[in-house]
Structure 1
């Protein structure tokens, strides 16, 4: 399952809830796209390509997925993580999780959205005011990415940033 949507919309919160619920029914792993991006400057495209190549592609071929977590502070790859093919549920959350590169590799695409001002407020509360310029640039990059990949149009489920279903025209 891929949980995508703009930064600060509530994807990580939803993934944690899914991990708890699905974990009651079988082994569950959450892969965070933040671990696959090479920092702020890379944008969501690189993380999406690594997700397909390193994790979902191997899993769909019956092999373990593997990735090295990118350390944003050290600006280098860190420890390796293995996503075993025997895992019952894999939840991928983060900007770019629903890229066209994962078509056919994921069984469900969930889109989570929230207003830009709320997303920025949440992000700066988490990351600090010093990251404001990074956030503003990322918001532009992700908007272009989502247009290119039509993630909203391809989503199986749409939720707002508080977990409520969203209709076809952005209305609950």
Structure 2
């Protein structure tokens, strides 16, 4: 399979089979600091403003990776029935859930965050993308972004992220591996992909 540019990938996504009721859920996974939010925003724009669910809105200080049930109950369940979902949003400063966000059952919904390719979620996914940035580079980017005052947070996060991926890895199950180049993003066949034109064959 030839590498896909982001516009080409976006053009192919609507042709995927629905994976969660009428919705095609596309997950963007990778290490913290890799740039998943930026990639997802650009992909959403190419998909005519597809809704985005950020797992940072569902995680908490106490449960950085313990958001699976919240996501399933508040988002995936309603979407699977063709209904608008409404999920709580965690306030990382107040350390509590405050407010909510609606997610319509659009043709494509993007799910972004570390661990979105976990085993419990893969049955709901039409496509799993892994952003190819090594952990060290991703963490340096994250520290630059967040500043030295959050260095202690990154120490704990790094430990938790390493433990999560050791127990429940995402990359081996990615359909496409995405890397950022000087000219933009390119997506190549991932470990779980199949050599078909455009997107892995069993997803079409």
TM-score, L = length of structure 2: 0.72
Per residue, is there more helix in 1 or in 2?
Answer: 1
| 1:69–1:79 contact (8 Å) kept in structure 2 | yes
Query: Distance in 1 between the 2:180 and 2:55 partners?
Result: 18
The residue number in structure 2 matching 1:17 is 42
Q: Say which of 78, 98, 101 aligns to 1:58.
A: 78
CA separation of 1:54 and 1:168: change in aligned 2, threshold 3 A: closer
Gaps of 5+ in 2: 1-25, 192-204
2:171 is aligned with 1:144: no
Query: Distance in 2 between the 1:116 and 1:102 partners?
Result: 22
Gaps of 5+ in 1: none
TM-score, L = length of structure 1: 0.85
Query: Distance in 1 between the 2:76 and 2:188 partners?
Result: 27
RMSD: 2.0
The residue number in structure 2 matching 1:33 is 55
| 2:57–2:89 contact (8 Å) kept in structure 1 | yes
CA separation of 1:160 and 1:48: change in aligned 2, threshold 3 A: farther
Give the superposition deviation at 1:166.
Answer: 5.8
Count of residues in Structure 1 that have an aligned counterpart in Structure 2:
163
The aligned runs of 1:120-135 (5 Å cut-off) are 120-135=139-154
Query: Distance in 2 between the 1:137 and 1:157 partners?
Result: 29
Structure number with bigger Rg:
2
